[in-house]
Amino acid sequence: MPARTHPADVLIIGGGAGGLSCAITLASARGKNWFNDRRIVIVDDGTSDLHKAKLFNAPGVPPGTLGSDLLSGLEDQLQQYDCATMLRGTVQRAERLPGGRFIATLESGEEVIAMSLVIATGYKRWDVEGLDHMPQQHPRGGKPDRIHLPHDGCYRIETDLHVAGLLAGGSSQFAIAAGIGTQVAVELLSEWAGKRTHVHDTP
């Protein structure tokens, strides 16, 4: 049987702090009249640094929370939105197709074809082949092997290609990685809305 192809408006590679925060904020706009029937796909292979953490200083997170519990809470939070799908697996290759869309291939052979791509793979590994951009030394990583992808200051690498989480150059704190993911989502939502926007709920 041929491997499945998933269509998406946004593909996020990496479901750690940055990628999940980006996905949750994107999906939270699903009721806006400009959101239409957009779909978000996130692919993750389970190596988030949060699995090694026990957090006492992450704002809003109960002190002593295991990072793995925080991660599964974020995954549960994403599940409230039908417009988002999480796939387990490793993206081996991502490239731009003629016409501008991206295609990503997982080690399972599954493919995701997306209008926009967000790379949120953390600041320790780089194994996605096919893109024209190579990581450089991280400016705030503290160790020489930490990496980041340069961007325009608003986390855009080129048209429809964004970087989130620590790979975007932030320091290694949960709130910073999550915040960059959220900012990338707000940039995408603003493009879709045709004006600056954000998503707020009230009691």
Ligand X SMILES: Cc1cc2nc3c(=O)[nH]c(=O)nc-3n(C[C@H](O)[C@H](O)[C@H](O)COP(=O)(O)OP(=O)(O)OC[C@H]3O[C@@H](n4cnc5c(N)ncnc54)[C@H](O)[C@@H]3O)c2cc1C
Work out how close the CB of 195 gets to ligand X at its nearest, in angstroms, rounded to a whole number: 28
Tokens of 73: 């809470």
Nearer to ligand X among residue 53 and residue 78 (C-beta): 53
Task: For residue 44, state whether it binds ligand X (rule: CB under 6 A).
Answer: yes
Cα–Cα distance for residue pair 184/22, rounded to 1 Å: 6
Question: By CB under 6 A, what part of segment 121-180 binds ligand X?
Answer: 121-122, 125, 127-128, 165-167, 172-175, 177
Q: Estimate the crossing angle of helix 17-27 against helix 67-79, to 10 degrees.
A: 20
Measure CA 84 to chain center. Answer: 12
Tokens of 59: 């704002």
Task: For residue 68, state whether it binds ligand X (rule: CB under 6 A).
Answer: no
Task: For residue 13, state whether it binds ligand X (rule: CB under 6 A).
Answer: yes
Task: For residue 24, state whether it binds ligand X (rule: CB under 6 A).
Answer: no
Helix or strand (DSSP H, E) at 162: strand 161-163
Phi and psi angles of residue 156, each rounded to the nearest 5 degrees, phi first: -100, 125
Q: Which residues bind ligand X (CB under 6 A)?
A: 13-19, 43-50, 52-53, 55, 57-58, 67, 90-91, 120-122, 125, 127-128, 165-167, 172-175, 177
